[in-house]
């Protein structure tokens, strides 16, 4: 038990400290809604997962029924796994494999550009050129970066440490990382197709 405790302390110590907010204080501003307009899309992507020294690559697809439902399929050779995110509920098949790949619900929604964090008191907002940054909670639990009505990144920062974060780039790359565990999931969007409604069965993988 003692050694397990020491290992946890060492692991937590590897999480990088978050830097203070940089920018011009903007007390009159608030975060934009950062929600998804109603639409049905299929998003095809390549994925790369790093876990310590191991590296795995594959293909995947998202069926997104915005504003509040998404089905994600991962393919690796002849194998596959799937997860469905409906509101605040995440279901996955293939045992723990897919769940290990995916972030928790608030960060999972951040992958698609939707801000869905628990309601917390106190938000500090600053502007930095075209970017708006905000620390949410007291003590701070989340850091949000937005540009216009688009979510750029979401970081979970309890205790002033970066526990997990999602970063979205303009060129279609999305990165989810857990620094202390040396885990990174990198998604590269290949194409996006507009579509009609999806069969209801896809929400139960």
In-domain check, residue 188:
yes
pLDDT digit string, tens, across residues 103-155: 999 999 999 999 999 989 889 999 999 999 999 999 999 999 999 999 999 99
More confident residue, 14 or 128: 128
Inter-residue contact 86 to 66 (CB < 8 Å): no
Residue 14 belongs to some domain of the structure: no
Rounded to an integer, the average pLDDT of 43-55 is 95
Does pLDDT of 170 surpass 90?
no
Q: Per the domain annotation, does 156 fall within a domain?
A: yes
Asked if residue 60 belongs to a domain, the reply is yes
Q: Which pLDDT does position 31 carry in this prediction? A: 85
Q: Whole-model pTM? A: 0.89
Has residue 4 been placed in a domain? no
Please give the mean pLDDT across all residues of the chain: 89
Q: What per-residue confidence (pLDDT) applies to 59? A: 95
* Torsion 38-203-113-125 (CA) sign: positive
Task: For residues 164 and 154, give the distance between their C-alpha atoms in angstroms, rounded to a whole number.
Answer: 9
- Closest C-alpha to 205, from 69, 78, 103: 69
Buried b (16+ CB within 10 A) or exposed e, 64-94: bbbebbbbbbbeeeeeebbbbbeeeebebee
Please name which of 81, 66, 90 lies closest in space to residue 198, comparing C-alpha atoms: 66
Going by C-alpha positions, the residue among 46, 40, 45 that lies closest to residue 70 is 40
Is 165 part of any domain?
A: yes
pLDDT at 94: 63
Domain range for 107 is: 23-203
CA distance 113 to 99: 20
pLDDT over 60 at 12, yes or no: no
Max Cα-Cα span within the chain:
56
d(CA 132, CA 15): 24
Give yes or no for a cis peptide into 118 (omega within 30° of 0): no
- Cβ neighbours for 170, distance < 8 A, ≥ 6 positions apart: none
Q: Does the residue 154 lie in any domain?
A: yes
For the chain, helix, strand, coil in percent to 5 are: 15, 50, 35
Domain count, the chain: 1
Of the listed ranges 7-16, 31-40, 105-114, the least confidently predicted one is 7-16
pLDDT for residue 11: 40
Q: How far apart are the first and last CA of the chain?
A: 37
How would residue 95 be classed by pLDDT, with cut points 50, 70 and 90? low
CATH number at residue 113: 2.50.20
Check whether 6 has a pLDDT greater than 50.
no
Residue 18 lies in a domain: no
């Amino acid at each position: 038990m003692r050694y397990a405790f020491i290992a946890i302390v060492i692991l937590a110590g590897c999480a990088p400290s978050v830097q203070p907010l940089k920018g011009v204080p903007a007390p009159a501003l608030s975060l934009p809604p950062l929600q998804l307009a109603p639409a049905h899309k299929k998003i095809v992507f390549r994925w790369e997962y790093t876990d310590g020294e191991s590296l795995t690559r594959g293909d995947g697809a998202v069926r997104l029924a915005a504003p509040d439902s998404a089905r994600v399929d991962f393919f690796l050779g002849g194998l596959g796994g799937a997860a469905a995110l409906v509101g605040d509920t995440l279901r996955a098949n293939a045992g723990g494999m897919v769940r290990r790949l995916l972030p928790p619900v608030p960060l999972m929604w951040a992958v698609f550009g939707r801000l869905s964090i628990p309601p917390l008191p106190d938000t500090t907002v600053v502007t930095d050129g075209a970017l708006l940054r905000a620390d949410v909670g007291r003590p701070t639990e989340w850091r949000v970066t937005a540009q216009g009505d688009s979510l750029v990144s979401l970081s979970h920062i309890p205790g002033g440490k970066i526990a997990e974060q999602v970063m979205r780039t303009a060129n279609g790359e999305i990165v989810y990382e857990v620094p202390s565990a040396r885990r990174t999931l990198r998604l590269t969007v290949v194409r996006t197709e507009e579509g009609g409604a999806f069969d209801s069965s896809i929400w139960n993988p």
